[in-house]
Chains A and B, each alone.
Chain A
Amino acid sequence: MLHAVLLIVAQTIVLLAVSPFIVGLIRKVKARLQCRRGAGVFQPYADLAKLFRKQPVVSSTTSWIFTATPYILFASTLAAGLLVPVFVSQTPLNFAGNIIALVYLLALGTFFLILAGLDAGSAFGGMGSSREAIVASLTEPAMILSIFAIALTAGSTNLSTIVHKTALLEGIVTDPSPHLMAFAALFIVALAETGRVPVDNPATHLELTMIHEAMVLEYSGRYLALVEWAAGLKLLVFLTLIVNIFAPWGIATSLAPGALGLGLAVYLVKVSGLAVVIGVIESMFAKLRLFRVTDLLGVAFILALLALVFFYVLRG
């Protein structure tokens, strides 16, 4: 019991502490690839601290949804993060929800963010919300299908069971093709859901094509800090999900202190590696036109569908 509580607290602290670092790391990689020195990787911590100290300004035309959304978004994203095995394969909260609960906890935050974008009644917020709704409705089938493909291979929808079985290589079908397809689909979904480059540009407030930034344009002070932190957290949750489902090796499968320490170190290395990959992708590709986003998400959907089909076909 005590172990479980300690593990939950530790996982919360790791998620909260690492997410600004990942955001800073991606920015640093992009800056280096553009031959700039860039801000340090710990700059997002300073930004968050500054925003928490600032006084928030709330428009008088907004309803309670506007002020409640940052808390709902932050809480639902953190709750989703606690369902994912981070550095130990058996999360204490694995009884609380499976992989489907994870998807819809994240969707809950997105839903409230869309409402908050509409709430202030500004033109930018409405545009951002409508675009986010398009992207969210297109990513959801791809995400669910790719997740089902993985769940079928492991024989369970419980994330801890999936990660534990894959880490120990027991009782799972090891045919790599469905995993590969599901990985590609989930990676595209992660880029789209977290507003990274081929779909949205996180580095600008000045584009007419912005999605996430347009929705949060009205936020300031501690509300903005919570929204930004939640966005970083969501990115980290997706990265964690991808590295631990597809390459969980090194994760702690027992509660021995040595295994836990190793699991944490391996986790940090893997997540940082994937963040560097995302930074490189952001530097290599231009943002897609909004009407071309459906092509990309169509590819993700078909990949996820193929992963499911392959699972049935390749076993003869």
Chain B
Amino acid sequence: MSLLSQQLGSQMVNLGSALLLLTCFAIVAQRRLTACVDMFAVQSVLLAATAALVAFLTGIHHIYIAAALTVVIKAVLIPRILKQVVERLNVTRELVMNVNIPASLLICGGLVMLAFFITQPIIPLGFLLTRDSLAISLAIILIGFFTMIARKKAVTQVIGFLVMENGLFLGATSAAYGMPLIVEIGVFFDVLVGALIIGIYTHRLQDAFDSVDTTKLTTLKE
């Protein structure tokens, strides 16, 4: 591959990762639960596109399979499960959170910078064309983690968890051109089963407490 097209490919991968980060901020700034789920689906589609681009640039075929699985599981199945959960709940939007939205956005901006500072010494050592995405993937993991802490509703906490998983997938793709396929498939089924279990658990939470606010789990009940 010529130098120019390699540079262009690297920039396209960077652009895809930047768009992924953009959807993270959309999730953080969003109060409506269904819109959060939609943004997660969009993020998964972008992740699959970025992975497919990496597969195309490197000629490693098993990344295509992982990208296809991402579309099927994270962009179609899990959003559908979460939508069903949200439909059963009596809340459509999250009004009270541990950290309000403008502060969350600022903290997430800080987390992105932190991720960049942490990866700064590592990135020049890499030689893959996707190496710049490592910083972004770490930022996405941190933002997902922060979403789980900042939000109270079980559904947004699940989305935070799934965003973290997306960040890990991007990290694996950018740092090592993806994990072995068998590990990849295992992770996908774990995530799917995890989302299913959390969906059922959210139903139970709703039945027991009339709310999906996870902070209520600490209150004692007869």
- Listed in ascending order, the chain A residues whose CB lies under 8 Å from chain B are 174-177, 180-181, 184, 294-296, 298-299, 301-303, 305-306, 309-310, 313-314, 316
Q: B22 → chain A, closest Cβ, in Å?
A: 7
- Listed in ascending order, the chain B residues whose CB lies under 8 Å from chain A are 11, 14-15, 17-19, 21-22, 25-26, 29, 101-102, 105-106, 108-109, 112-113, 116, 120, 123-124, 132, 135
Which one of B17, B29, B109, B113 lies within 8 Å of A295 (CB-CB)?
B29
With A176-B15, A181-B18, A298-B29 known to touch, is A313 a contact of B116 (CB < 8 Å)?
A: yes
Nearest B residue (CB) for A310:
B18
Q: Is the CB of B132 within 8 A of A313?
A: yes
Q: Is the CB of A298 within 8 A of B101?
A: yes
Could you tell me the dominant secondary structure of chain A's interface residues? helix
* A–B Cβ pairs within 8 angstroms, 14 of them: A176-B14, A177-B15, A295-B29, A295-B102, A298-B102, A299-B25, A299-B105, A302-B105, A303-B22, A303-B25, A313-B120, A314-B14, A316-B123, A316-B132
Alpha-carbon gap, A148 to B166, bound state (A): 31
Contacts of A306 in B (CB 8 A): 21, 109, 112
Q: Is the CB of A299 within 8 A of B29?
A: yes
Q: A274 → chain B, closest Cβ, in Å?
A: 20
Contacts of A301 in B (CB 8 A): 105
Which one of B18, B101, B102, B120 lies within 8 Å of A177 (CB-CB)?
B18
Nearest A residue (CB) for B11:
A175
Nearest B residue (CB) for A300:
B105
Nearest A residue (CB) for B29:
A299
Which one of B11, B25, B132, B135 lies within 8 Å of A302 (CB-CB)?
B25
Nearest B residue (CB) for A315:
B132
Contacts of B21 in A (CB 8 A): 306
Which one of B105, B113, B132, B135 lies within 8 Å of A298 (CB-CB)?
B105
Q: Is the CB of A302 within 8 A of B108?
A: yes
